[in-house]
Chain A
Amino acid sequence: MAKNMTTKSLFSFEEDIIRESHEVLSKKDELIPREEYEKLLVRYERLFKQMQRILRISDRFQLELSLSNKDLEQLSTIDSLTKIPNRRHFNQTYEQEWRRAKREGNHLTVGMIDIDYFKKYNDTYGHIEGDNCIERVASTIQNSIQRPADYIARYGGEEFGLILPNTDIDGAVKLAEKIRSNVESLQMAHCLSDKGVVTVSIGISSEIPIQEEALMLELLNRADKALYKAKEEGRNRVEHRCS
């Protein structure tokens, strides 16, 4: 049906007025008929008012869209289960803190925290309990860090990433030990874990950033290797690794 029809212009009313105005003005030798022109003006004024309304309506939608964009942006950086930042946000924060530490010549410490025997926990207690476990560990970690700049994110499944700006390795080991002990103190039953309760292993590494990106990844890798060492050494412990 639509194919055979000529498209109706969005501005047919405006175009009518313009065309008729030209017609009125083209009557060269005659006086411009005032009444006719006044009628055109009334019609134009009405359309002008409409256009103002249309702009208000559009602005309103644009505002709403930009607000929901902001909401979405925020949602996209938060882990839906634990309500702490997700890996995407971790990466952003890590880059920022790296640059800041480099600028200020301060220590930057990162940590990798992993729930011990989590797969076995899931297999034994089910996925819902597994989710509960992740949630409780996440909030325990969050409650263990106190300085405003200290930062925790859910890095992956049962793994959390810690960023401690302006913290050397000694300070970081103390905080990591506190996290480890707070999780153990939850006394969440885990029959297949060495201690019979949920525990975490933590690997940390510290650096005063001097170089660029290569070292940035290297620092994370070292924390990861320290985490592996903590696992190998029997879990429920903190290990650190320096350059």
Chain B
Amino acid sequence: MEHLIIEASKSTPAIHFDPEQHLLSIKGQSYPENSSKFYTPVFAWLKEYLALPYLKNIIIDIEMSYFNSSSSKILMNIFEMLDESAEDGKSVVINWLYQEDDDTSLECGEEFKEDISTNVIFNLVEIPATRFK
């Protein structure tokens, strides 16, 4: 299976999905002109990845300081997909990374955590604030 690598732009996050090391990460800001279009390959990749027969553990790191409404809908949809995998008996861990001084990102993480079923482990992970934003 191929890697999915999308470099960050001003309005879109960096997406690094590595199916060999099983490292999935989304990092940055997200307010693309067309969220559905931008995330279409992400959904396609995830669908293929989650269907891998040998896949047992899924871990995804998400660090997003700002995202628009449609991107939060996208995240809900991604979490929905992961939730289905968890229901199928796979172990799913979502790490929501937020910078220590970013209350908004923490609160968003809490909203997502409350929304998702207990089949999924949703961690709120505080990381040091970067000096330059």
Contact = CB atoms under 8 A, between A and B. Distances in A.
A217 interface: no
Interface of A: 1-2, 5-13, 49-50, 53-58, 60-61, 64
Given A60-B104, A64-B104, A10 B70 contact: yes
A54 B76 contact: yes
B8 interface: no
Nearest to B35: A10
For chain B, what secondary structure do more than half of its interface residues adopt (helix, strand, loop), or is it mixed?
helix
Nearest to A49: B115
B69 A7 contact: no
Interface string B73-86: 11011001000000
A61 B104 contact: yes
A54 B73 contact: yes
Contact of B36 (A10, A57, A60, A61): A10
Contacts of B37: 2, 7
Given A9-B36, A54-B73, 8 more contacts: A5-B44, A7-B40, A10-B77, A13-B77, A13-B80, A50-B76, A56-B111, A61-B104
Nearest to B44: A5
A142 B83 CA distance: 63
A64 B68 CA distance: 13
Contacts of B49: none
In the complex, which of the residues A1, A10, A53, A57 has the most CB atoms of chain B within 10 Å of its own CB atom?
A57
B36 A1 contact: no
